[in-house]
Amino acid sequence: MIYLRLIAESFRFAWQALRANLLRTILSLLGVTIGIFAIISVFTLVDSLERNVRDSMSFIGDKVIYVQKWPWSTGGSYPWWKYFQRPEPTEQEFRLLERRITTSAGVAIMASRGGNTYKQGNNSYSNGNLTGISYDYPKVSEVPIADGRYFTPQESEAARNVMIIGDEIATTLFPYGSPIGQTLKVAGQKFTVVGIIEKQGENIFGMENMDQMGMIPYSTFSKMFDVGPRGIGSSIVLKGREDDPGLLELEYEARGILRNIRGLRPRDEDSFAMNRPEMIQEAIGGFFQVVGLGGWVIGGFSILVGGFGIANIMFVSVKERTNIIGIQKSLGAKNYFILFQFLFESVFLSLLGGGIGIMLVFLLTLIPQDMMKITLSVGNIILGLGVSAVIGMLSGIIPAVLASNLDPVIAIRSK
């Protein structure tokens, strides 16, 4: 009970100090408020950006390796003239790799063609992507079907004209009814719609996603277009197993099989690229770390100013209440009681300033955003309050120690 009374009395003193010198307190807390606002707003923006980036890249797949002609580059020199001479992955290589590999959870092949116009009656959708995928593609990357179904093995093997369409294409071509079982025309061919992909929404990159995509069997795609060295390039996609978190076993085995298929000698360079989405994510993660560090630097200066402001309030508070401190000590108050009283007041004031800063960040997250959703996480709230509490303790520790060490007789005589 004594500790509860101590906290209640400390809170009462802090509130009285706040009300008695409202303008001075507000100006002093402004630094903490701005500092916490700067740090938490940057961290909230970075977290939201990173989450939206990862969501935007979800169609690439998780724990996958893309075997392609061109490597993904994140900086440095890019000897394109060397990569230009490489052959494109072929369906034959895909079949051999699928048959021989043992460390993969799934193998698929895909190819895409952009700038397609989808037509149904008087409705049309321009600049849509048309992607051919093998039957096992859902094993390497998610194909979220909202309505209808996926291809059957027979449809895939027989190169049937069946299609799964994105939400944007579906709502544009079939605004008044279900597209399932209906036909549409693209690239001069008629297709029967068998499935609709879940709505993905606009991504942060502004790139096409599954909403603007039509998926057909790879066999149908290769029958319609020139797929190969002089035509549209294909990508072989390998899915890693759960017991291979780094995908090292998968990468080593796939590289050995592909080199053997292409007849490469031991000293020959790979004539293919093995691209991993983690390469892009790591580059983006490094950028976010730099932005986060900038937030700490910007907010740190404001918090430093706010800390001095709180320390000034506490020094003034000790001077104004020296007589009261003397009376408390003469009535038996221990040094730790006085120390805790002033330290609590300092932390309370700092938490108040930090709480206002966090509230401002929360109000900003309520502003509607078209490109991405900004969310204030519980972790960032705890971080902001934690930083505020630490600043309050550091700012109030010296005034609190001075107050607790006052001589009661001298303190009572002071005016």
Q: Distance (Å, rounded) from C-alpha 215 to C-alpha 275?
A: 22
Q: What is the DSSP letter of 41?
A: H
CB atoms within 10 A of CB 108: 23
Longest dimension (CA), the chain: 101
Q: 3-state class of 239 per DSSP?
A: strand
- Whole-angstrom distance, CA of residue 248 vs CA of residue 415: 76
> How much is the pLDDT for 155?
94
Report the Cα 190 to chain-centroid distance in Å. Answer: 39
Full-model pTM? 0.65
Yes or no: say if 110 and 235 are a contact pair by the CB < 8 Å rule. Answer: yes
Please identify which residue in the block is written with the tokens 């690439």.
Answer: 60
Do 101 and 254 touch, CB atoms closer than 8 A?
A: yes
| Average pLDDT taken over every residue of the chain | 84
State the distance between the two ends of the chain, measured CA to CA, in whole angstroms.
33
Cα 153 to Cα 186: distance, rounded to the nearest angstrom: 23
- Sole residue written with tokens 């053997």: 260
CA pair distance 336, 296, nearest whole angstrom? 34
Question: Phi and psi of 372, rounded to 5°?
Answer: -155, 160
Render pLDDT for 320-332 as a digit per residue (tens, 0 to 9): 778 877 887 777 7
- What is the residue extent of each domain of the chain? 1-56+283-413, 87-271
Q: Which of 162, 192, 159, 172 is closest to 117 using CA atoms?
A: 172
Torsion of the alpha carbons at 171, 177, 183 and 185, rounded to the nearest 10: -30
**Residues of the chain where predicted confidence (pLDDT) is lower than 70:** 1-3, 6-7, 10, 13-14, 17-18, 20, 53-61, 74-76, 201-208, 279-285, 369-372, 414-415
Evaluate whether 130 touches 112 at the Cβ level (below 8 Å). Answer: yes
Q: For strand 123-133 and strand 162-165, is the pairing parallel, antiparallel, or unpaired?
A: unpaired
Q: How far apart are CA 243 and CA 81, in angstroms?
A: 38
Both structure tokens of 69: 């002609």
Q: What is the pLDDT of residue 206?
A: 46
Q: How far apart are CA 287 and CA 73, in angstroms?
A: 15
